[in-house]
Structure 1
Amino acid sequence: MSTVLVVEDSPTQREMITDLLKGNGLTVKIAHDGMEALEQVQTFRPDIVVLDIVMPKMNGYEVCRRLKTDPNLQGVPVVMCSSKGEEFDRYWGMKQGADAYIVKPFQPKELVGTVKQLLRG
């Protein structure tokens, strides 16, 4: 079973994403901010990361950049999931190394489909 690290500071969003992914047969680990996410990926290597952008301590762009420049972790797909929906935000997220960018609010099928597609990738 694949493990997803959900990095989200909003309790409501975190619970909704977690329930959605668990309901689709995935194991979910949680980080509340960017620093915690980086600590967790050192402890266990997730199969994929679902990453918010606007968070305390370290934003999602920085987390993504650090994951993608780490030789041990750069192969882990990153899905940015943010309310920042401007074209520039999407461009900047992909430039940091994100494998996909989903704008909140999203359709549950969009998130699950993207995660499953990247896990097959």
Structure 2
Amino acid sequence: MVSTVLLVEDTVSLLDLVGGYLRDSGYTVILATNAKDALIQAVQKQPDAIVTDVVMPGMSGFELCRHLKKNPATEQVPIIICSSKDKEIDRVWGMKQGAAAYVTKPFTKEQILHAVKSVVG
């Protein structure tokens, strides 16, 4: 079965890069460039996993996590935070918001794919 991943990233070049990695590995990819759009997409499309940036205009990835985990329609969807915030406190905070995995930028194709595989099987 093909897994669907919602990718949330406000940097278009990274959206293209990670989206390409996921598509090349057989995933269906839904794109969102901000957290508000991601909330709508997550409810409508019910992805198998969500990969989100933290630092975005409007709503952060941490806030997005909290919103998704409070919504019965999306509370079970595993979230992978992908961020340049690489301190241990950021990782701990991300996990407290409900993230299943935390990948720091810069990352390799293998790191991001491993994180997605670890949550969707």
User: Does TM, scored on the shorter chain, surpass 0.5?
Assistant: yes
Identity of aligned residues (%): 44
- For 2:95, the aligned partner's letter is M
Q: What is the alpha-carbon distance in structure 2 between the residues aligned to residue 26 and residue 44 of structure 1?
A: 14
Q: Deviations over 1:8-62 (max 9, x none)?
A: 0001111110000001000001000010101111211011000000001111001
- Confirm whether residue 2 of structure 1 aligns to residue 9 of structure 2: no
Pairwise mapping of residues 7-86 of structure 1 onto structure 2 (< 5 A)? 7-86=8-87
Aligned to 1:114: 115
- What's the CA shift for 1:113? 1.1
1:66 counterpart letter in structure 2: H
- The 4+ residue runs of structure 1 with deviation greater than 6 A are none
Tell me, which stretches of 5 or more residues in structure 1 are unaligned?
Answer: none
**How many Å separate the matches in 1 of 2:39 and 2:118?**
24
Q: Mind listing any 5+ residue stretches in structure 2 that lack a counterpart? A: none
SS at match of 2:31: strand
Q: Is residue 54–residue 83 contact of structure 2 (8 Å, CA) maintained in 1?
A: yes
Question: Helix, strand or coil for the counterpart of 1:71?
Answer: coil
Map 1:91-106 to 2 at 5 A: 91-106=92-107
Give the residue type in structure 2 aligned to 1:67: L
Per-residue CA shift, 1:71-116, capped at 9, x if unaligned? 2211100000000111111111001000000000012111101101
Normalising by structure 1, what TM-score? 0.96
State the TM-score, normalized to the length of structure 2: 0.96
**Amino acid of the structure 2 residue aligned with 1:46:** P
| Paired residues of 2:7 and 2:15 also in contact (CA < 8 A) | yes
